Amino acid sequence: MSRPRILLSNDDGIHAVGLRTLAEALAALGEVWVVAPDRERSAASHAISLHQPLRVRQLGPREYSVDGTPADCVYLGLNHLLPEPPDLVVGGINHGPNLGNDVLYSGTVSVAMEGALFGRGAIAVSLCLPDSVRGRTLEAVDFAVAAEFVAKLADAVVAEPMPPGVLLNVNVPYLERAGVRGHKLCRLGYTDWADAVTERHDPRGRPYYWIAGQRNGTDAIGDSDNAAVDDGYISVTPIHYDVTDYRSFTYARHLALAGFDRARDALGDVTLPHPVHPKARRRS
Ligand code: MN
């Protein structure tokens, strides 16, 4: 196979050390295109800009910054900037964890999700930096373990294409290389954020609010991504945009909703196969 084409983005901004380190590691594997926000857009989730113009700056032969969200960057990359569709879309390396329910807010995960929606292979990767480190200059933070793992994973995904619509969400513990015990397949866990709203007052006495909680502990789910990272493992969690909760079919069917029994569903009680993905046919 020819060298794979990889689209790389993030939510920490195009100059982030995590993205730079990953771009270098992936360059050994294939042709890397960077399309990333011109500033930090962490927790932008999957927002796209429908009501304002987007400005793109070309910073290198295959490198562009965009004054939009992470999803804007991938959308522009896939539909306009890249001459051919990429084999793989990668988000990261994020400067902080994206574990459990936090994937819902994550711009990093949305980079990969946007790639998955377009039928591409997709990986999101986050280094689980503690808050005490995240606020400081990150030049000294070693992203190498995470970058090397993603390069290996990307290689494997190119060799064995993922089911369409799926991304792999990777979280790497912030440990010395020798402390990392390996990688583990996980489910999404749950992160509990305490005291999430702080009220303060501006110089004119008007209240304003910070949404910034303290991590109040995580779930006790043995096979969760949170638990794996706590135990020193790199977590790998497959995520699909189909967030149907198959476990709740029975509950929903038994709700007392008059008139809703005229059209019976045919979904059954088991997890369904991957939906037919129209864009998968366009895979190179
Ligand atoms: Mn971020």
Distance (Å) from CA 125 to ligand 1 centroid: 10
Give me ligand 1 centre to Cα 18, in Å: 10
Q: Is there a domain that residue 76 lies in?
A: yes
Alpha-carbon distance of 45 to 110, in angstroms, equals: 6
Tell me if 280 is assigned to some domain: no
DSSP calls for 208-268? EEEE-PEEEEE---TTBHHHHHHTTPEEEEEEES----GGGHHHHHTS--TTTTSS-----
Residue 150, in any domain of the structure:
yes
Per the structure, the complete domain to which residue 232 belongs is given by 5-191+218-243
**What's the gap between Cα 163 and its chain centre?**
17
- Residue 16 lies inside a defined structural domain of this protein: yes
Is residue 270 a part of any domain in this protein?
Answer: no
> Looking at the domain assignment, is residue 74 inside a domain?
yes
Ordered per-residue pLDDT tens for the chain, 284 residues: 589 999 999 999 999 999 999 999 999 999 999 999 999 898 889 989 999 999 999 999 999 999 999 999 999 999 999 999 999 999 999 999 999 999 999 999 999 999 999 999 999 999 999 877 766 666 667 899 999 999 999 999 999 999 989 999 999 999 999 999 999 999 999 988 776 788 999 999 999 998 877 777 777 788 999 999 999 999 999 999 999 998 898 898 888 777 766 777 888 888 888 888 877 755 44
Q: 33, 22 in Cβ contact below 8 A?
A: no
* pTM for the structure as a whole: 0.92
Distance of CA 58 from the midpoint of ligand 1 (Å)? 22
- Cα(282) to ligand 1 centroid in Å equals 30
* CATH code of the domain in which 122 resides: 3.40.1210.10
Q: How far is the CA of 52 from the centre of ligand 1 (A)?
A: 23
- 253 within a domain of the structure (yes/no): no
How far is the centre of ligand 1, averaged over its atoms, from the C-alpha of 89 (Å)? Answer: 17
Domain total of the chain: 1
- What SS3 class is residue 51? coil
